[in-house]
Structure 1
């Protein structure tokens, strides 16, 4: 029993040091490179299909930056942009953007009820789990587990990513399997409602 407890404590300790290691001030120096697409502080992207990266969670942001740099998560628009950045640079960028505040959009009133029902309760008919289980009722995510903040993300980007998971185009990272399974059960109409609801969630 003592060995089990010690193992759990060690695991929690390792998790605690796995994120929160970056220096936001150092990250700000490299953040100017990102502003052209993601906007100042990562909160107002130049195009709605680009993600808002402000406040998503430091561990998640670092994870995605690493996947993009390695090529495991292909993002054509970011080809070569991270090549000269070190591991410390990626941690610092993640720390900087995590400290910024995301802006909240406005959900389509006609889609709110369906989106809310899916987000909060899932769908028994198609065996879709509720989004709140991983991303919280307010869409704030779960930092230690690297589940990103969703509330306020643009509907266009959420829709694009859910379809990418559903079609097997986005299959990199520890949580990809979960998201691919969830998205595989969603129709285009359900994705539209969910994405709209999430854009105004806070």
Structure 2
């Protein structure tokens, strides 16, 4: 597994505003959208392309285009939906699937309750969107779900990560060069409730309110 922490002043600036408890939901959604686009730029450095001949107004040349099958973007419901627009802005031709996992607050284990994905993901590059890599249970379950269906390259994009969650992914995907985590920061630790410290609170609640 590879871990990529994006060290960029604009990333740090937007993350600081996201962390602020005084940031309201509309502003939080806009900032999350902008931050995801910055993270996605780095996360897609290895997106697969192929040569593509074109003719410019001046002369013929050869550029590149995304290969087929197209990459698939997989937001984890519900909080991952707040990252979707920022991702598809950068990859507008990508397909979008959905995966719903819920964490048991007493055991902190993730279980799948919904999916809208192809049964066969052979040869697909997948980009998983989940704002918080906390305990790691949700991401491990999500990545395994994709790999079991044939995906051969999975990149998880997270706004924040906890060292405990990073370690869980390292153990689960030890030596798996085809699994990557891209995040804006790795914070200090998890508290007794499984929240990242200092973190930014519950990303889903801050995006959409408490429902």
- TM-score using structure 1 length: 0.29
**Higher helix proportion, which one?**
1
**Higher strand proportion, which one?**
2
- TM-score using structure 2 length: 0.28
